[in-house]
Amino acid sequence: MKFPKSYKLKEVATIIDAKYIGDENFVVEGINEIHRVEAGDIVFVDHPKYYDKALNSDATIILINKEVDCPEGKALLISDDPFRDFVKIGQYFAPFKQANKHISSSAEIGEGTIIQPGAFIGNNVKIGKNCVIHSNVSINDYAIIGDNVIIRSGTVLGADAFYYKKRETGFDRLKSVGNVIIENNVEIGANCTIDRGVSASTIIGEGSILDNLIQIGHDTIIGKKCLIASQTGIAGCVTVEDEVSIWGQVGITSGVTIGKKAVLLAQAGVSKSLEGGKTYFGYPAAESRELYKKMAITDIIIKEYRER
């Protein structure tokens, strides 16, 4: 998430009452998670295991719970609870805004777009030309939808990420301040849920088609011309490259990449990144040709054993 304007390090430190290391006039542009950070962003880290990754990332301000050597050209914000303060910064710049009508007056809706009765269009949503938004669709704040998009009944765009920190008293939610982007010529079936990015965007690429009952997690990027069948669940921070086909009841763990033109057969369970241009099935998902060979060999062994 980019701030509405540039801020100085000292100003941001004041928001969370944190000590800082670096020039007080150091420029701060926004906040982001580690997988989407850019120059000028704040990233948070609260475990020594990930200190080096955060300090060496593209982020230029590290919100951290220990004083460490600050890399050249960067700054530190020292906090006793970086998770809490990351949320606090996000809510300071992008707080939740209550809606008071079904279609927000701040929403921009393109020529020829049809909004069926019962749909909810949130604050600062942008919808392109010649779209059809069916009844009982919820499009939450700051979503961006291109031209010629169809969204069928019951779908929710922009719910908060499933991202929590366990405390002794329960779970703290990392309140999302990102959005959802749906590019041109996308079709989304009924009762799908596409979560907003924690601090960046969840993206559905141009020309992709989603069946009914699909879950797509925060900050996931679906490429162009992908086909995704019903009851597929894709966790957060996944990259699905262009022209991938995903069949029914596939499950994909967080942080992996599915290569261009891969095919995931029904009920595949993906636990690691997969190369493009190949077909996969099973759990953990493996290339189908290799699995078929193993299955054939197993059948031969069983047959020979029984014939003894």
**Tens digit of each residue's pLDDT (9 = 90 or more) over 138-157:** 999 999 999 999 999 999 99
Q: Which pLDDT belongs to residue 9?
A: 95
Tokens, residue 243: 């022209």
- Whether 134 is a known active-site residue: answer no
Is residue 227 assigned to a domain? yes
For residues 245 and 162, state if they share a domain. Answer: yes
Q: Say which CATH number the domain at 24 has.
A: 3.40.1390.10
Write down which residue in 28, 61, 93 finishes a domain: 93
Report the alpha-carbon distance of residue 140 to residue 121 in Å, rounded.
Answer: 6
Region of 95 please: left (phi>0), alpha (psi -120 to 50) or beta.
Answer: beta
pLDDT at 298 over 60: no
Q: Which pLDDT belongs to residue 296?
A: 61
DSSP E strand stretches across 80-214: 108-109, 114-115, 120-121, 126-127, 132-133, 138-139, 144-145, 150-151, 156-159, 164-167, 170-173, 179-182, 187-188, 193-195, 201-204, 209-210
Is residue 46 assigned to a domain? yes
Q: Which pLDDT belongs to residue 297?
A: 58
Report the alpha-carbon distance of residue 15 to residue 29 in Å, rounded.
Answer: 15
Q: Which pLDDT belongs to residue 290?
A: 75
Collapsed DSSP state (helix, strand, coil) of residue 10: helix
Long-range contacts of 257-261 (CB under 8 A, 24+ apart): 260/223
Q: Which of 35, 47, 102, 218 is catalytic?
A: 218
Is residue 19 assigned to a domain? yes
Q: Which residues pair with 167 in a beta bridge?
A: 170
Q: Which pLDDT belongs to residue 295?
A: 62
Q: Which pLDDT belongs to residue 292?
A: 67
Is residue 161 assigned to a domain? yes
Is residue 101 assigned to a domain? no
pLDDT at 131 over 60: yes
Average pLDDT, the chain: 94
For residues 30 and 66, state if they share a domain. Answer: yes
pLDDT at 236 over 90: yes
Give CA angle at 63 (29, 88), nearest 5°.
75
For residues 165 and 249, state if they share a domain. Answer: yes
Q: Say which CATH number the domain at 241 has.
A: 2.160.10.10
Rounded to 5 degrees, φ, ψ at 87 are -60, -40
Is residue 98 assigned to a domain? no
For residues 89 and 203, state if they share a domain. Answer: no
Q: Cis (ω within 30 of 0) for the bond into 284?
A: yes
What global pTM score does this model have?
Answer: 0.92
Report the alpha-carbon distance of residue 154 to residue 192 in Å, rounded.
Answer: 7
For residues 136 and 270, state if they share a domain. Answer: yes
For the chain, the domain total comes to 2
pLDDT at 122 over 90: yes
For residues 67 and 216, state if they share a domain. Answer: no
Measured CA to CA in angstroms, residue 43 lies from 33, 69, 170, 234 at distances of 6, 16, 24, 24
Residue 130: Cβ-neighbour burial (10 angstroms; 0-12, 13-18, 19+): middle
For residues 152 and 201, state if they share a domain. Answer: yes
Q: Residue 156 belongs to what domain range?
A: 114-289
- What percent of the chain is predicted at pLDDT more than 90? 89
For residues 149 and 238, state if they share a domain. Answer: yes
For residues 77 and 128, state if they share a domain. Answer: no
Tens digits of per-residue pLDDT, 176-201?
A: 999 999 999 999 999 999 999 999 99
> Where do runs of H (alpha helix) occur along 201-287?
none
For residues 89 and 118, state if they share a domain. Answer: no
Is residue 80 assigned to a domain? yes
Is residue 235 assigned to a domain? yes
Q: Which residues pair with 269 in a beta bridge?
A: 251
Write down which residue in 93, 124, 148 finishes a domain: 93
For residues 136 and 86, state if they share a domain. Answer: no
For residues 158 and 279, state if they share a domain. Answer: yes
Write down which residue in 59, 93, 127 finishes a domain: 93
Alpha carbon 19 to its chain centroid, in Å, reads: 31
Contacts of residue 72, Cβ cutoff 8 Å, sequence gap at least 6: none
